[in-house]
Amino acid sequence: MNCIAIDDEPWALDLLVDNISKVSFLNLIGRFEIAEDAMETIAKKPVDLIFIDIQMPGESGLEFIANLYKKPLVIFVTAYKQYALESYDLEVVDYLVKPVTLERFHKACSRAKNMMELTAAKASLAKINTLEHFYIGSGYGKIKIKFEDILWMEGYGDYIKFFLKDTSHPQVLRTTFKELEHELPKEKFIRIHRSYSVAIPSITSIRKNSLFIGKKELPISGSYKEYVEKIFNKGQ
């Protein structure tokens, strides 16, 4: 994580920088005794985390963070306990009161790291969920298939038949369900048999060991039955 340290007291800043150097996943890219001097670094470099004091000449740490347009993660490091409640209104990661033990410092940094990783994971998932299509190799080229156009898929050997909306004949492509598992969004498709996968929105009913897409009946194998019923009942 790229971080910067801000404290108007040189000795306190030195101690803060020393603590940062002892946390393996932190990369210090700037240290400042005046908060305003950090603005150029924040604007031009990817800053993931700010360590900052509160009571400083001119603009306080609270004011500085509140005025940032795009806020990195923030950990306050201060000698004053009374600003803790106000600081959490800014959704900071942690509030450390000097003197800070290395153990407590590392705990706060780990919390920041976990928050950054969670945010990245959510962003990645959101990106995946916004995908509307994928490409399958066909001969010397690739064919684009929209998720919303797929009703169901039938596999046989190294090929899969894609049964699509508004088409009378399936699209046959050389691929397997194993190769497709990273392409198909799990919230949109469900495997019902070793030879069949269906688009969840296209399911109209389930009867015993069969699933229906309109009038088309598809078999549900025993190993998938419980999961299929759970997904179907969840959507009701």
Please report, for the domain that includes residue 146, its CATH number: 2.40.50.1020
**Average pLDDT, whole number, for the chain?**
86
Number of domains in the chain: 2
Strand runs labelled E in the chain: 2-6, 27-32, 49-52, 73-78, 94-97, 133-138, 141-146, 150-156, 159-164, 171-174, 189-193, 196-199, 205-207, 210-213, 216-219
Q: What is the CATH number of the domain that holds 94?
A: 3.40.50.2300
Residues 154 and 121 in one domain: no
The stretch 132-156 carries a mean pLDDT of: 79
By the 8 A CB rule, do 2 and 41 touch? no
Residues 113 and 166 in one domain: no
CA separation for the pair 233, 138 (Å, rounded)? 37
Residues 194 and 80 in one domain: no
Token pair belonging to 182: 């990273």
pTM value?
A: 0.55
Q: What percent of the chain has pLDDT over 90?
A: 43
- Structural domain of 218: 133-234
> pLDDT value at position 33?
95
Give the domain-ending residue among 129, 150, 178: 129
Residues 14 and 93 in one domain: yes
> pLDDT value at position 112?
95
Token pair belonging to 87: 């600081």
Give the domain-ending residue among 114, 129, 144: 129
Q: What percent of the chain has pLDDT over 70?
A: 91
How close are the terminal C-alpha atoms of the chain, in Å? 44
Burial class of residue 161 in the structure, from the number of CB atoms within 10 Å of its CB (0-12 exposed, 13-18 middle, 19+ buried): middle
Residues 104 and 212 in one domain: no
By the 8 A CB rule, do 192 and 224 touch? yes
Residues 41 and 155 in one domain: no
Residues 119 and 12 in one domain: yes
Tell me, what amino acid is at 26? L
Give the domain-ending residue among 106, 129, 152: 129
- Helix or strand run (H / E) with residue 25: none
Residues 113 and 11 in one domain: yes
Residues 65 and 163 in one domain: no
Residues 88 and 156 in one domain: no
Alpha carbons within 13 angstroms on the beta-carbon side of residue 205 total 6
pLDDT in tens, 148-175: 889 999 998 888 999 998 888 888 888 8
Residues 90 and 154 in one domain: no
pLDDT in tens, 25-79: 999 999 999 999 999 899 888 999 999 999 998 889 999 998 887 789 999 999 9
Residues 115 and 137 in one domain: no
